[in-house]
């Protein structure tokens, strides 16, 4: 997990919206390309869902991670 991953999850959770990498980029210090790459990793880990092409929302697993109920160590062992 990276600092960007935390920002992505926090932004999705705080907004409670379905967002694109472009919108996330406009609200963070990361490029759209980098966020697209990280969103793919977060999707593979089950922390975000791709609702449609280029649109993402946080999952219950992502919320559990933010709340401290899913450790980064567990995700590291899953190669995130």
Provide the number of structural domains found in the chain.
1
In a domain, 9, yes or no: yes
DSSP bridge partners of 56:
19, 50
In a domain, 71, yes or no: no
DSSP bridge partners of 58:
48
Report the C-alpha gap between 31 and 36 in whole angstroms: 9
* Residue 75 reports pLDDT greater than 90: no
Q: Look at residues 53, 52, 61, 44 and name the one whose alpha carbon lies nearest to residue 9.
A: 61
For 4-38, the pLDDT digits (tens) are 999 999 999 999 999 999 999 999 889 999 999 99
In a domain, 61, yes or no: no
In a domain, 65, yes or no: no
Phi-psi region of 16 (alpha: psi -120 to 50; beta: other; left: phi over 0): left
Domain that holds residue 47: 1-55
In a domain, 70, yes or no: no
Q: What is the pLDDT of residue 72?
A: 80
> Is residue 73 classed as helix, strand or coil in its secondary structure?
helix
CB 62, CB 48: distance < 8 Å = yes
Confidence of residue 74 (pLDDT cuts 50, 70, 90): confident
């Amino acid at each position: 997990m990276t600092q960007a991953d935390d920002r992505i999850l926090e932004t999705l959770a705080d907004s409670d919206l379905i967002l694109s990498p472009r919108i996330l980029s406009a609200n963070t210090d990361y490029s759209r390309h980098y966020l697209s790459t990280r969103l793919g990793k977060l999707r593979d880990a089950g922390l975000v869902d791709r609702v449609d092409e280029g649109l993402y929302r946080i999952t219950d697993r992502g919320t559990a991670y933010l709340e401290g109920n899913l450790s980064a160590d567990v995700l590291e062992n899953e190669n995130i």
